[in-house]
């Protein structure tokens, strides 16, 4: 039953209410015994002595009618003569427990303070204890006899109407409080249940059901954060599916091609054709190997919490090494690389930076026109470090520029690349808190990398 948060909050609140009422009662009881009991005793004793003095003005002639009159004034009275005969006036006491010693004490003209001396009881408020020992007593004397008179207020009569009012008030208070607790608990639990249903849907792979923000408090913030998480998971799931489809396509197509080439290689006897098929198979397997390496690198970048960015790198030397490594490719196309590289030290991940810059340079060589010029520039100012690569070639339209850094994106279906190079470069630069942008116009394309200064 208590597995439900709704029931648990309601029960806990009711328990707190009952516990608070109990503690309040105990504190009130202690307060009465410590601070009020003595004053209450003195006040009732003063009333009794005033009643005695008032009657003595006409001479000591106390009669049963006089005590009945006091009883009608909401007092409970016990009279005891020297022979031990007791007479009660007003409402009856719940219990007659006054001691013989107390009676004898009063008959010997010593006042009795039973209210002040009433012992403390944990769950009984002394003010309401309707027993003869919880009274005050004095000695009354008439012409005929002496007797002890014990008196206390008749709480039942004094508070009879108030007691009904108090009972109704407490009952309504409890009913209304419990009702409001249940309703308020439901109002609190309702968005939690909504979040529970939404998480169950997300566990089953359904990220399309929106989470409505119904509040402006912390729960509303939680709803908003959950909905934001849902949207992120939806995008991530879409990217995952798209990624799987692209990887499957990138692997399936060359494998199919290899299978066809192997079939042809099996049935051909011409050495020239055999050599051609072997070269094609080698080229395709090389592409598959590169694809596998890039996929592994992407996986490493996506789970990059373990990556270190503490290498001291001379960016100009790193770029010079890449250009030297790509000399064969540039010579094949007759491309000239012009470089203006400032001497800049940087702290980052040297292996990843090498990969990012190499991807941009090889991309520039690949899409540059024959006998074209590629300009490399590395500069530093007060704000940042800037690297640009400009190559001559076909202009990239605005629509393509918006998607060029996406994974597996290809400018055309005839492009034999796997569409991961620029995506990898972008991810690496962003891991270094940098930014990469592209601009293509006037038969030239410029990629710009901006990196923050490092210590």
Can you give the CATH number for the domain in which 322 is found? 3.30.565.10
- Model pLDDT for residues 96-152, shown as the tens digit of each residue: 999 999 999 999 999 999 888 887 776 556 667 888 999 999 998 876 778 899 999
Question: How many C-beta neighbours within 10 Å does residue 203 have?
Answer: 8
Within-domain flag for 367: yes
Last residue of a domain, one of 285, 302, 319: 302
CA dihedral 134, 123, 166, 92 (to 10 degrees): -30
Burial of residue 155 (CB within 10 Å: 0-12, 13-18, 19+) is middle
Same structural domain, 322 and 426: yes
Residue 330, CB-side half-sphere exposure with 13 Å CA sphere: 18
Q: Is residue 281 part of a domain?
A: yes
Residues 364, 259 share a domain: no
Residues 144 and 39 in one domain: yes
Write phi, then psi, for 385 (nearest 5 degrees): -105, 130
Count of CB atoms situated within 10 Å of the CB of 341: 18
Here the tokens at position 35 are: 């601070």
**What does R_g of the chain's alpha carbons equal in angstroms?**
49
pLDDT of residue 61: 58
Residue 262 lies in a domain: yes
pLDDT at 160: 57
Domain presence at residue 163: no
Give pLDDT, residue 59: 53
8-16: long-range contacts at Cβ-Cβ below 8 A with a sequence spacing of 24 or more? 9/185, 9/188, 9/189, 10/181, 10/182, 10/185, 13/181, 13/185, 14/178, 14/181
Say if residue 295 is in the same domain as residue 377.
no
448 alpha-carbon distance from chain centroid: 41
Let me know whether 268 and 250 are in one domain: yes
Q: Report the chain (455 residues): mean pLDDT per 10 consecutive residues.
A: 65 79 77 78 88 66 75 88 89 90 92 85 68 91 82 74 65 79 78 81 80 77 83 79 71 83 85 87 84 80 80 94 92 92 93 92 90 93 92 84 82 66 90 92 89 86
CATH number, domain containing residue 267: 1.10.287
In a domain, 179, yes or no: no
Q: Is residue 382 assigned to a domain? A: yes
Q: Could you tell me if 433 and 297 lie in one domain? A: no
List all residues 6 or more positions away from 145 whose beta carbon is below 8 Å from its beta carbon.
81, 82
| Domain final residue pick, 272, 302, 332 | 302
Determine the structural domain holding residue 393 and report its residue range: 307-451
Does residue 148 contact residue 59 with C-beta atoms inside 8 Å?
no
Q: Is the same domain home to 125 and 40?
A: yes
Rounded CA gap, 118 and 95, in Å?
A: 14
Examine residue 430 and state whether it is found in any structural domain, yes or no: yes
SS3 annotation, 123-175: CECHHHCCECCCCEEEEEECCCCEEEEEEEECHHHHCHHHHHHHHHHHHHHHH
pTM of the entire structure? 0.52
Model pLDDT, residue 125: 60
Distances (CA, A) of 89 to 65, 102, 126: 10, 19, 21
The two tokens of residue 100 are 């013989």
Report whether 444 contacts 435 (CB < 8 A).
no
Residues 142, 11 share a domain: yes
What's the pLDDT at 3? 60
What is the strand order of the sheet 336-341 is part of?
Answer: 336-341, 373-380, 385-392, 444-451, 435-441
Beta-carbon-side half-sphere exposure of residue 139 (alpha carbons within 13 Å): 14
Does residue 333 share a domain with residue 239? Answer: no
Of 133, 158, 183, which residue sits at a domain end? 158
Q: Is the dihedral of CA 271, 273, 279, 285 positive or negative?
A: negative
Q: Are residues 344 and 425 in the same domain?
A: yes
How many structural domains does the chain have?
3
Judge if 348 and 429 occupy the same domain: yes
Q: Which helix (H) or strand (E) holds 80?
A: strand 75-81
Return the closest-CA partner of residue 225 out of 199, 254, 256: 199
Residue 27: inside a domain, yes or no?
Answer: yes
Q: Distance between CA 420 and CA 399 in Å, rounded? A: 18
Pair (263, 324) in one structural domain: no
């Amino acid at each position: 039953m208590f597995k439900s948060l709704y029931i648990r909050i309601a029960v806990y609140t009711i328990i707190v209410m009952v516990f608070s009422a109990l503690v309040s009662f105990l504190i009130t009881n202690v307060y009465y015994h410590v601070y009020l009991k003595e004053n209450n005793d003195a006040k009732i004793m003063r009333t009794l002595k005033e009643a005695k003095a008032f009657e003595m003005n006409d001479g000591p002639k106390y009669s049963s009618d006089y005590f009945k009159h006091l009883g009608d004034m909401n007092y409970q009275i016990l009279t005891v003569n020297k022979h031990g005969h007791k007479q009660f006036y007003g409402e009856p006491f719940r219990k007659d427990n006054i001691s013989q010693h107390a009676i004898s004490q009063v008959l010997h003209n010593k006042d009795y303070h039973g209210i002040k001396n009433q012992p403390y009881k944990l769950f009984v408020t002394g003010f309401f204890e309707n027993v003869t020992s919880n009274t005050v007593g004095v000695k009354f004397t008439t012409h005929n006899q002496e007797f002890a008179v014990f008196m206390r207020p008749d709480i039942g009569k004094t508070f009879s109407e108030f007691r009904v009012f108090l009972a109704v008030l407490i009952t309504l208070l409890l009913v209304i409080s419990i009702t409001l607790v249940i309703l308020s608990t439901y109002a609190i639990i309702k968005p939690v249940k909504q979040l529970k249903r939404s998480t169950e849907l997300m566990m089953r792979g359904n990220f399309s059901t929106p989470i409505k923000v119904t509040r402006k408090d912390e729960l509303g913030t939680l709803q908003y954060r959950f909905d934001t998480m849902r949207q992120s998971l939806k995008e991530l799931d879409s990217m995952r599916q798209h990624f799987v489809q692209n990887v499957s396509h990138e692997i399936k197509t060359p494998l199919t091609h290899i299978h066809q080439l192997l079939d042809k290689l099996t049935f051909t006897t011409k050495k020239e054709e055999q050599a051609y098929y072997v070269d094609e198979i080698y080229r395709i397997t090389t592409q598959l190997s590169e694809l596998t390496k890039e996929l592994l690198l992407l996986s490493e970048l996506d789970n990059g919490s373990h990556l270190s960015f503490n290498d001291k790198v001379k960016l100009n030397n790193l770029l010079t090494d890449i250009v030297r490594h790509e000399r064969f490719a540039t010579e094949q196309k007759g491309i000239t690389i012009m470089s203006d590289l400032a001497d800049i030290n940087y702290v980052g991940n040297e292996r990843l930076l090498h990969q990012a810059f190499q991807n941009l340079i090889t991309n520039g060589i690949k899409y540059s026109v024959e006998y074209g010029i590629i300009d490399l520039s590395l500069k530093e100012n007060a704000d940042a470090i800037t690297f640009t690569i400009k190559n001559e070639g076909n202009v990239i339209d605005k629509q393509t520029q918006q998607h060029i850094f996406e994974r597996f994106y290809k400018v055309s279906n005839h492009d034999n690349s796997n569409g991961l190079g620029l995506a990898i470069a972008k991810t690496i630069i962003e891991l270094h808190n940098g930014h990469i942008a592209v601009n293509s116009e006037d038969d030239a394309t410029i990629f710009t990398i901006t990196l923050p200064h490092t210590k």
